[in-house]
Amino acid sequence: MVRLFLLLTLLFPMSVDAARLRKHTSLKQVPKIVPSRAKIVIDAGHGGDDFGTKVGQTIEKVINLKTAEYVAALLRKGGYEVLMTRKKDVFISLADRVDFANRSKASLMVSIHFNAAQSKEAEGLEIFYFKDPIQERKNHSKNLADHVMRFLVSITKAKSRGVKTGNFCVIRDTQIPSILVEGGFLTNERELEKIRQDQYLKSLAQGIFDGIEAYLGPKNS
Ligand SMILES: [Zn+2]
């Protein structure tokens, strides 16, 4: 086999372009991120025995899934294929969510959560991305986060606490551009009042959808 390979190499020496391409690929292990409109991963945080935050009758895992479903519906209507890490109230480990995203060949992942704080005054939206040493993924994730925050604030009129770097498993260990959206504080009475209304969750979903669209750019690209 080796001999055959040597013979073939002698008979058909590699073209300069092929050699260059090969060198290029070995230098750059990470595939280039080319956002496509094909597939999006939506991750509803928590589930099953993992409730997330619970305030009165409001359970984070439930509203995460509800919001995720609203986002998924908008995406499907917009012609995307949507892959959800969970579609019902089940526990899925963080590692499995990351695996799912990494095997998906999707353009991006959005993880949906709601917040809690010691201070009852804490309120507003937060979006996290991971400060990936791979600049390209970091830039894409931040760009996605910025777009989503801009639309979320304009639609919901909620306070922005900013786009921040975070070290959460689902944004750190994924290889595609990934963000984690905290849609508001269940520990803030005024914000909880809004979050309890489906219409508000729908407006959060619309903001996330519009942000994704803005990040991906014009439809026929
Ligand atoms: Zn959470």
Domain range list for the chain: 39-216
Percentage of the chain modeled with pLDDT above 70: 82
Please state the length of the chain: 221
Q: Residue 4: is its pLDDT beyond 50?
A: no
CA dist 210 → 55, 151, 175, 206 (Å): 29, 6, 23, 6
Q: What is the CATH number of domain 39-216?
A: 3.40.630.40
Instruction: Calculate the average pLDDT of the chain.
Output: 88
Return the bridge partners of 83, or none: 41
How many angstroms separate the CA atoms of 85 and 92, rounded? Answer: 8
Q: pLDDT for 123-158, tens place per residue?
A: 999 999 999 999 999 999 999 999 999 999 999 999
Residue with tokens 């994730």, as numbered in its chain: 141
User: Is 14 strand, coil or helix?
Assistant: coil
The order of strands in the sheet holding 81-84 is 81-84, 39-44, 108-115, 178-185, 125-129, 160-165
Distance 45 CA to ligand 1 centre (A): 6
* Predicted local confidence at residue 37, as pLDDT: 66
The one-letter amino acid at 65: L
Using left for φ > 0, alpha for ψ between -120 and 50, and beta otherwise, residue 76 falls in alpha
Distance 197 CA to ligand 1 centre (A): 19
Q: Which residue has the higher pLDDT, 51 or 220?
A: 51
Distance 5 CA to ligand 1 centre (A): 55
Distance 116 CA to ligand 1 centre (A): 8
Distance 12 CA to ligand 1 centre (A): 57
Distance 4 CA to ligand 1 centre (A): 57
User: pTM, whole model, 2 decimals?
Assistant: 0.83
How many angstroms separate the CA atoms of 113 and 185, rounded? Answer: 10
Q: pLDDT for 67-105, tens place per residue?
A: 999 999 999 999 999 999 999 999 999 999 999 999 999
Q: Residue 170: is its pLDDT beyond 70?
A: yes
Using left for φ > 0, alpha for ψ between -120 and 50, and beta otherwise, residue 50 falls in beta
Q: Residue 19: is its pLDDT beyond 60?
A: no
Residue 218's pLDDT band, with cuts at 50, 70 and 90, is confident
Q: pLDDT for 185-201, tens place per residue?
A: 999 999 999 999 999 99
How many angstroms separate the CA atoms of 160 and 143, rounded? Answer: 16
Q: Residue 24: is its pLDDT beyond 90?
A: no
Nearest CA among 123, 168, 120 for reference residue 145:
168
Distance 64 CA to ligand 1 centre (A): 8
